Structure 1
Amino acid sequence: MCGLFVSVNFAGDRPAIDDATAVGLRDRLAHRGPDGAGLWRAGPAVLAHRRLAVVDLTDAGAQPMVSADGAVALVYNGELYNDADLRAQIRRLDPRPFASDCDTETVLRAIEVFGEDALARFRGMYALAWWDARRRRLTLARDPLGVKPLYYTEVGGEVVAASEPGPILHHPRLSPAPNLAMLSAYLTTIRTVLGEDTLFQGVLAVEPGSLVRFEEARGRVSRTVRWHWTPAPADEVDEGAEARTREVVGESLEAHLRADAPLCALLSGGLDSTILTALARERLDGLRTYAAGAPGGSENDDLACAAAVASELGVAHERAIVDREAFVQSWPEMVRAMGVPLSTPNETAIFAVASRLRADGCVVTISGEGADELFAGYAAPTVAAWRCSRADPEGAAGGLFQLEANAWVPLGAKRRVLREAALDAAGADAPLVERYQSWFAEAARQAGPFADPVEAHLRLLQRVNLTGLLQRLDSATMLAGVEGRTPFADAVVAHHAQGLPISMKFDPGEAAGAPGDAGGGVAVAAEVRTKIALRRAFRGRIPALALDRPKASFPLPFREWLADQSPALRRSRFAREVFTPEAIDAVSAAPGEHWRLAWPMINAALWGDVWWS
């Protein structure tokens, strides 16, 4: 895992920035790559890299990496899980020997041999950029599910890209400006990125499963976006689903264990992390596991359940305690370090456990993100979506339903929260509604003709929720210099899960017909079954405690702790410019009571003061 920075001056034959500037911007990513740094320049291009050494720890894996003829230069952040297979494919067309065991060399050689089509052959998590000197072409690309981030902008003929927004925004030719449409979207969705839009004007994200190509055309920079991965349609049969699920998940976990640096696993005591821990224990000697949580919890919280599962599995287990003081201290520190608001309160717990395991010498950790979105693990929201899909089987308002059902700050409350000028600049959220409606329609098309109507809702969650959770994991772990790996959030596992019929994922039971809140706040009957294929596949293979344990959304009691940061709202000039006095007063007086307002508003205030105080 690494950090990358790129600058290509399409307006000239020399770079637009000098080496000292490039090094300064690159080193804003030092936390992502504490083990090495590199810089390469030729013609109009500068590529820079910070390395976290995980596979082939020698200097042979240093970046930027350049082809033997000097025509292609690459910076790459991620891990390739089909490295051996891809090397065999390359050798059949290019017999030159490889100089290292590092997957970066495999990626570079694949680009030389297959061009952009190499991306369809990659199985892994990655964000990468390569410069083709012959064609004067820069290509940016990102893995199918968005495990690794990549941002870019264009200013005066110069394309600038980086693993985080910070290096881009500190570029001497750029002045950060808030994207108020995305700020309003963040208040509702707590997502700092939606599609290609970010919280900063002019700074875009490469979308998961896409590539962005830049070339000079008629004196201007031409940008082309192309998808290199598409989701799988749902099938109507479930024959062999349990065995195939067990096989696919086990194979993915094994592929994700490749590392030359110490590896451990995050363990919450829930279904997903327990499956991965049980599989990893069979393949690794001396596996260590880690959990994070608040002190003084119940016997059913993450800390207690994780310890019980670890004991039953016979693995060494440690914990990271996040108390009120640690939460209040790390929250603003993380916002300052990353330059964006936090998405969920759990981000502080991920950072705490990543810091703990890194201090113990671990560099790589396995984590369970992806199972809930791919295998339908959210009971109450999926029951609500089920009802919506029966009332609106054509999905005419499916996107709007998802937006409102999962809202932190409801659309209808925005005029009481945002000042008129800010809400007008956000288009009164019309672009946000249009985006969700469009995404829902696309999700329904991708689900295919055999899909249950609720499948489109699940796929929209994959596009929004899963991408956000993977971004959260990357941000919090990389801030501690740790590589987080997600065997469930894998292209092969995703295609398998997407192909399963809904009967192998979710059964609403009696709750399907019960009256309730369309927003997902209904009481869910015990008959509701989630992640059916996973539970069946691993029943009898993992501790019973984890098999049917209910999911906990926010293991930290953050509502009680919000008051310690609420004064930031009144202090923040940015908050006073965008939020109404009434909203600031209400949250400041009772942040715990108005926690759905308080969390995104306080985050926005902390973020705004990083850039515009």
Structure 2
Amino acid sequence: MCGFAGGLLFSQREFQNTELLNRMGSVIAHRGPDNQGLTVKGPCGLVHRRLSIIDLSSRGNQPMSNEDGSVWIVYNGEVYNFLELRKRYDLDSRGHAFNSATDTEVLVHLYEEVGEDFLKELNGMYSIALWDDTRKKLLLARDPFGIKPLFYTSTNNGFWFASEIKSLLEVEGVNRKPSLEALYHYLSYNYVPDSLTPFDNVHELLPGRAMWINWETGEKQEHCFFNYDYTEDASVTSKYASVHSRELLERAVERRLVADVPVGVMLSGGMDSSALTALMAKIRGRSNFHTFSIGFDDSSFDESEYARIVAESVGTIHHSIQVTPGAVADLLPRYLAHIDEPYGDGSAIPTWLLAEEASKYVTVLLSGEAGDEVYSGYDTHAAYKVRKLYRRSVPAFVRHCVGSVVSRLPVSHRKLSFEFKAKRFVRGAEFDVPGSHFFWRVVLSEDAKLQVLNSPGRFSGFGESSRYFSDIFSNCKTGSGLNKLLCIDTLCHLPHDLMIKNDRMTMAHSIEARVPFTDVELFRFLASVPAEVKFPGMRKKHLLRNSMKDLLPESIVNKKKVGLEMPYSSWLRNELRDVAMEYLNPSRLNSTGLFNGAGVEKLWLQHDRYEVDHGRALWGILNYMMWYDLYIASTDYKNYINPGVVRR
């Protein structure tokens, strides 16, 4: 796990501004505290920050090149099948000289053999920048699940790229202007979707995409190199799916245990992380590794007792971190300086606190992210099945009456309360399938957004935020409605929400987070499993539960999903009230020129009076305002950047 940045100058034959490259690398030192390397080759400049994981010697430092220096690479991540590829393509006997035991060097030589098609062979997490000096072309690429970030922008004289946006802000000509389109959609999702970023002239390369930049013409060509195919294989039975998916998951975990540094597990107590913990112990034949969990005083948010059950069952060295309102307040706005974006997911700060503690013991953590996307584990997947029955068996006029009754249920701030789920389901069930899926996740509706935005006419041309879901639903290669929803979650929610905190909060503490559920072989198989086999009846994650019965306690196998989130709805009214009042003050909101302070104040009053739970929306707007202060109104984000954790 590392970080990199660089630029391609169209107006020069030699990249001369090495001081700029050093600055671009220094602001992401937390991603790679072990070494900074810099290379200039013709018009291309590359800088790399290394977090040593495999081959801790200086031979693994980057930028790295082929034998004659005509191909250079900077790379962030891990490719787990690099030894298989080195053997399959017979790279040693084809005359390639290897100076390290890293996966990076395999990528360079693989590119020499097969060109860009090497991307189709990779099983791992990665963002890559590769300069081909002979062709005078730059290649950028990002893994299919968006685990590793990659941003880019253009100026009058060049093209720039980096693992984090803060590196790009070091470049003269990159203006810190907020994107109205990003803000508009952020208010729906509490994260910035698609290739948008909160900066008007900065973009993110989408997962599974490659981009070529031609130095001679300045032309950019982007395309998808990964096939997200959900075509079902009708021959797959439930028994075979359980057995084979277990084999593939075990192999995925084993691949991700290869490291020359200590490896631990983020153990929430849920099904996904518990499976990883049990499989890691089985593979290693021992359980003396570290696991880390999060706890809350509010029992509806707390899974720490289940994490303890798993840790004791497996026999790990377990650490539990309690998340309190005081600890959260102390990290506001500091944690956003490592995200570079407004981010309203309440799991980010708990992940920061976990990673901070874990950094004392390990350099690599296994993460259970993507388990819900590949095994079908979200409540919205169950709601999709209930919706079909509800609409088929309940007449429209009765559904209208049900909606009226449900709307009168008193507001509860407990996590996923009956009131919350009932109101969401009944209203969302009236939309089409992708529309329902969107509504069950949406933060603010189209009408509500216009109430909190200043001069809403400026936002009218951006289209409804639900189109990101409906477009994926329409283009997904499957006839199954459920698998189309999994495709939406895999291409939208996973990379643009979950992987943001999974990468930035761990990298803030110089930790590499590995994600076994994104293993390409596992993904391809589970994507082909028929929906009725993957999700029979109302049993979410049926295949994972069945396959792990021999390794996990029954209380874990049959446990309902909780998920990592903070009780901010309650905290905003109480312990974090002063913070909310500071950032959500109408005059302060109005001063940005982006928000209508009176509209936000109305949300606050409804929330404070228990009329409507606007916790998610208020937390999202609060985080946007903190981001605005750090990045637009000032450059104070630089004051909060961690220097990184040096372990050697």
Q: Tell me by how many angstroms 1:610 deviates.
A: 1.4
Would the aligned equivalents of 1:32 and 1:52 in 2 still touch at CA under 8 Å?
yes
Relative to structure 1, the CA distance from residue 554 to residue 424 in structure 2 (aligned partners, 3 Å threshold; closer, same or farther) is farther
Matched residue, 2:66: 67
* Counterpart position of 1:521: none
- CA shift digits 1:220-266 (9 cap, x unpaired): 41111121111232222332111101101000000011100111111
Alignment-derived partner of residue 522 in structure 1? none
Give the alignment partner of residue 436 of structure 2, picking from 381, 385, 401: 401
CA contact (8 A) 1:569 1:575 kept: no
**Aligned residue for 1:102?**
102
1:555 to 1:611, Cα distance in 2 relative to 1, 3 A:
closer
Partner of 2:638: none
% same residue: 28
Say whether the 8 Å CA contact 2:249–2:522 is kept in structure 1: yes
- CA shift, 1:428, in A, is 5.5
CA distance in 1 between counterparts of 2:336 and 2:324 reads 18
Judging changes above 3 Å, is the alpha-carbon distance between structure 1 residues 481 and 243 closer, same or farther for their aligned structure 2 residues?
A: same
Kindly indicate whether the alpha-carbon contact (under 8 Å) linking 2:339 and 2:500 is maintained by their aligned counterparts in 1.
no
AA of the residue aligned to 2:86: R
The structure-2 alpha-carbon separation of the partners of 1:138 and 1:223, relative to structure 1 and needing over 3 Å to count, comes to same
In 1: Cα distance, 2:125 partner to 2:279 partner: 20
Quote the offset at 1:145 in angstroms: 1.0
Return the alpha-carbon distance in structure 2 between the equivalents of residues 227 and 297 of structure 1. 44
SS in 2 for 1:231: coil
Asked if 1:482 corresponds to 2:479, the answer is no
Secondary structure in structure 1 of the residue aligned to 2:336: helix
Q: Give 1:357-506 correspondences, 5 Å limit.
A: 357-360=358-361, 362-379=362-379, 381-386=380-385, 397-420=432-455, 423-427=456-460, 429-430=462-463, 432-443=465-476, 446-447=477-478, 451-467=479-495, 468-506=497-535
Match of 1:523 in 2: none
SS in 2 for 1:53: coil
Question: Out of 288, 291, 294, which is 1:289 matched to?
Answer: 291
Indicate conservation of the 8 Å contact 1:291/1:319, yes or no.
yes
- Cα distance in 2 for partners of 1:136, 1:122 equals 24
Aligned partners of 2:342 and 2:627 also within 8 Å: yes
Structure 1 residue 340 and structure 2 residue 341: aligned? yes
Other-structure match for 1:520: none
Instruction: Kindly report which structure 2 residues correspond to 1:2-401, keeping only aligned pairs within 5 A, or say none.
Output: 2-15=2-15, 18-91=17-90, 94-192=94-192, 194-216=193-215, 220-232=217-229, 233-239=231-237, 240-284=240-284, 285=286, 286-294=288-296, 296-298=297-299, 301-360=302-361, 362-379=362-379, 381-386=380-385, 397-401=432-436
Whole-angstrom CA distance in 2 between matches of 1:491 and 1:323: 37
Native 8 Å contact 1:328 1:564 kept in 2: no
Structure with greater contact order relative to length (CA < 8 Å, sep ≥ 6): 2
Q: For 1:606 and 1:143, how far apart are their aligned partners in 2? A: 30
Structure 2 equivalent of residue 514 of structure 1: none
Are 1:35 and 1:53, in contact at CA under 8 Å, matched by a contact in 2?
yes
Kept in 2: contact 1:309–1:545 (CA 8 A):
no
The aligned residue for residue 624 of structure 2 is: 604
Q: Which of 542, 546, 560 pairs up with 2:556?
A: 546
Deviates more, 1:167-176 or 1:273-282: 167-176
RMSD of aligned C-alpha atoms? 2.2
CA contact (8 A) 1:559 1:595 kept: yes
Q: TM-score by structure 1 length? A: 0.90
Q: Secondary structure at the match of 2:492?
A: helix
SS in 1 for 2:254: helix
For 2:444 and 2:549, the matched residues in 1 are separated by 39
- Please tell me whether the aligned partners of residues 373 and 465 of structure 1 are also in contact (alpha carbons under 8 angstroms): no
**Residues 294-318 of structure 1 deviation map (CA, whole Å, 9 limit, x = unaligned):** 2x35499321111111111111101
Partner of 1:569: 584
1:582 has 2:598 as partner:
yes
> Residue type of the partner of 2:487?
R
The residue type equivalent to 2:228 in the other structure is P
- The whole-number CA distance in structure 1 between the counterparts of 2:300 and 2:147 is 33
Change (3 A) 1:290 1:505: same
**Secondary structure in 2 matching 1:607:** helix
Give the match's secondary structure for 1:426: helix
Deviates more, 1:226-235 or 1:578-587: 578-587
Provide the rounded CA distance (Å) in 1 between the counterparts of 2:578 and 2:62.
43
Helix, strand or coil at the partner of 2:218: strand
Query: One-letter code of the match for 2:630?
Result: V
Relative distance call for 1:299 and 1:461 in structure 2 (3 A) is closer
Shift of 1:370: 0.6
SS at match of 1:170: coil
Mapped to 2, the partners of 1:91 and 1:434 lie a distance apart of: 46
Letter in 1 for 2:176: P
Other structure's SS at 1:224 match:
strand
Cα gap change, 1:554/1:86 in structure 2, threshold over 3 Å: closer, same or farther? closer
Query: Cα 1:469–1:13, aligned 2, differ >3 Å: closer, same or farther?
Result: same
Alignment of 1:527-546 (within 5 A): 528-546=538-556
- Could you list the per-position Cα deviations for residues 377-424 of structure 1 after superposition, in whole angstroms to 9, with x for gaps in the alignment? 012x123333556769xx99444333322101112212211122xx33
Unpaired stretches in structure 2, ≥5 consecutive residues: 393-429, 634-648
Equivalent residues of 2:337, 2:630 under 8 A apart: yes
- Give the TM-score normalised by structure 2: 0.85
How far apart in 1 are the matches of 2:468 and 2:606? 33
Is residue 12–residue 44 contact of structure 1 (8 Å, CA) maintained in 2? yes
CA drift at 1:36: 0.7
Amino acid at match of 1:228: F
**In 2: Cα distance, 1:377 partner to 1:462 partner:** 12
Q: CA deviation at 1:453?
A: 2.3
Matched letter for residue 226 of structure 1: H
**Distance in structure 2 (CA, Å) of the matches to 1:424 and 1:573:** 18
**Secondary structure of 2:62's aligned partner:** coil
For the residues of structure 2 that align with 1:455 and 1:543, how far apart are their CA atoms?
A: 29
Alpha carbons of structure 1 residues 604 and 575: separation in structure 2 relative to 1, 3 Å: farther
**Aligned-pair CA distance for 1:574:** 6.9
Q: Report how many aligned residue pairs link the two structures.
A: 578
8 Å CA contact 2:298, 2:567 repeated in 1: no
- CA-to-aligned-CA distance 1:94-120 (integer Å, 9 cap, x gap): 233421111111111111222101111
The gaps in structure 1 that reach 5 residues or longer are: 510-527
